[in-house]
Amino acid sequence: HGTASKLMGILDKSLSEYRTMPIADDYKYLLIDGIWVSVKDGAKTKKRPIVVVLGIKTDNTKEVLAFKLVRGESESEVAPILNDLYRRGLKGKNLKIVASDGAKGFKNAIEMVYPYAKWQLCSTHKLRNLCSNIEHKTKNQKKMMKEASKIYRSDTRKEAITKFNRFCLKWEDVERKATRHFAK
């Protein structure tokens, strides 16, 4: 019991330092998502998200900048997390893209705190949306998902656009709904 208490004290101090340390304004991408976990609340267990903000610096190093257990993915829960990053130094001067799922709370909070950064649906969620719209799953899902994921692994914008156009031309007549949603 004494050892556990000592460790918790050390962790609390480290976490407090982590959550208050200054952040350099050298991030080009932010990825924001909720990881849903089961949390005991008295006798009940509830699903609640831990909002995580991952930053990718201009030198392509990645860092978890913030995480917090919240009640939901609403603007009122997410905006304080982003405001805290802003106050600690992440003003967004180098931000090119902030990516998240399509939850309105995320989008609204991002727009409020980083209004000049471009928002984008994250590639994982984009691919999940594509998968859910494929009509002939047994016949086409594996091939479509493999080809679509290659678009996101392109080295250049030009290469990604070429792969995207090829993908749409190949699949638009076979999987019209999925292709249209993906293109949108």
Report how far residue 102's alpha carbon sits from residue 40's, in angstroms, rounded to the nearest whole number: 28
User: Cα 172 to the chain's mean position, in Å?
Assistant: 28
pLDDT for the residue 5: 78
Tell me, what's the pLDDT at 125? 80
What confidence score (pLDDT) does residue 2 get? 80
- Would you state the torsion angle of the CA atoms of residues 35, 151, 129, 77, taken in this order, to the nearest 10 degrees? 30
Mean pLDDT, each 10-residue run in order, the chain (184 residues) = 79 89 96 93 91 95 96 96 98 95 92 94 84 93 94 92 96 94 88
Q: Say what the pLDDT of residue 11 is.
A: 86
Is the separation of the CB atoms in 122 and 99 below 8 Å? yes
Torsions phi, psi of 142, nearest 5?
-60, -45
Paired with 36 in beta bridges are: 49
HEC letters along 123-176? HHHHHHHHHHHCCCHHHHHHHHHHHHHHHHCCCCHHHHHHHHHHHHHHHCCCCH
| CA 30-13-22 angle, 5° bins | 40
